[in-house]
Amino acid sequence: MTRTALVTGGNRGIGLEACRQLAGAGMNVVLAARDPERGEQAAQELRDEGLDVAYERLDVADSLSVEECARRLADAGTEVDALVNNAGVYPTEGVFSVSEEAFEMALEVNTLGPFRTCRAFVPMMLQRGYGRVVNVSSGGGSFGEGLGPAAYAVSKVALNALTVKVSQAVRGDVKVNAMCPGWVRTDIGGSGAPRSTEEAADTLVWLATLSEDGPNGGFFRDREPIPW
Ligand code: NAP
């Protein structure tokens, strides 16, 4: 049976590589991105590589956009088996210098975005008795590892808490986990980061394709648990 994965922020960085690897693993992939031109271009790039990838417009900061995306997919008969909450923003300012707008945007994209997509797609996973949710978090949202920049840290700590709450609300073969990709060469990570997007996507793909005896409600890097 061919499963379908939806990746938010799939047009570049870790999200684009996640789309490539998930499609390479034989899944149908919905590359979701907020900008139609950038999203369609990224999906075409992967189709040119022979992969099964379709673009859908999705701005995770806009609840209507999330609802409309879910409705379009449902109308087309597309069932999302794996949801990858990858879209993210990275305000780097300190707690006294970050603007309220930047703080709000971090919460909108990094925390409320996954809240919205989980509410749009997980109930249907529960109905079908199968689903995988991967929340792309960060060691910057881990108390155990030391928190990152103020707004980013708060948004990812809250994403980790959301991961636990959703994992506690599922049953059947539905698994909800968070992961940290490490420090990765993307617009967020910068060109000096040690990891490639290929390396970063490995744990993400593992969690998106877990077998029935896999973990639920965990936080992972390099396929190993890390502290909350
Ligand atoms: P990136 O290259 O900057 O990609 C960010 C992605 O998020 C882009 O596709 C962007 O789309 C999308 N996005 C932002 N706001 C959005 C919105 N409102 N709706 C939909 N998409 C939106 O960064 P990345 O490193 O690949 O980041 C991916 C994830 O990894 C993030 O959650 C980040 O926190 C996490 N992470 C990264 C690192 C690292 O070192 N890179 C470390 C730990 C965690 P546009 O092109 O339209 O802006």
Instruction: Give the distance (Å) from ligand 1 centre to CA of residue 150.
Output: 17
Does residue 35 line the site of ligand 1, with CB under 6 A?
yes
Write the pLDDT tens digit of every residue in 163-211: 999 999 999 999 999 999 999 999 999 999 999 999 999 999 999 999 9
CA of 10 to the centre of ligand 1 (A): 8
173-179 β-sheet, strand order: 53-57, 28-33, 4-7, 82-85, 130-136, 173-179, 219-221, 224-225
Average pLDDT of the chain, as a whole number: 98
pTM for this prediction = 0.98
Identify the structural domains of the chain with CATH numbers, from first to last: 4-225 (3.40.50.720)
pLDDT in tens, 64-75: 999 999 999 999
55 is catalytic: no
Q: Looking up tokens 């879910």, which residue turns up?
A: 70
